[in-house]
Amino acid sequence: RLIHELRAERGEDVEFFRIESPHGHDAFLINLNQICDPIAKFLDRV
């Protein structure tokens, strides 16, 4: 989150997504329903 805030303060185009999960730092491997939309939006922009 800190990196996002610092880059946003510099005017960079950044987004931050928080994944709520009891699975810790590997949550993105399990909770695909929470990351599909943010990833799809990113891929649409590149």
Overall residue count recorded for the chain in this entry: 46
Distance, first Cα to last Cα, the chain = 22
- The answer for residues whose C-beta is within 8 angstroms of residue 14's C-beta and 6 or more apart is 4, 7, 8
Is the model's pLDDT at 35 over the cut of 80?
yes
Distances (CA, A) of 18 to 5, 14, 27, 39: 14, 14, 10, 13
Is the model's pLDDT at 9 over the cut of 90?
yes
pLDDT at 4: 94
Q: Could you state, in order of their start, the residue ranges of all structural domains in the chain?
A: 2-45
pLDDT at 38: 86
Is the model's pLDDT at 23 over the cut of 80?
no
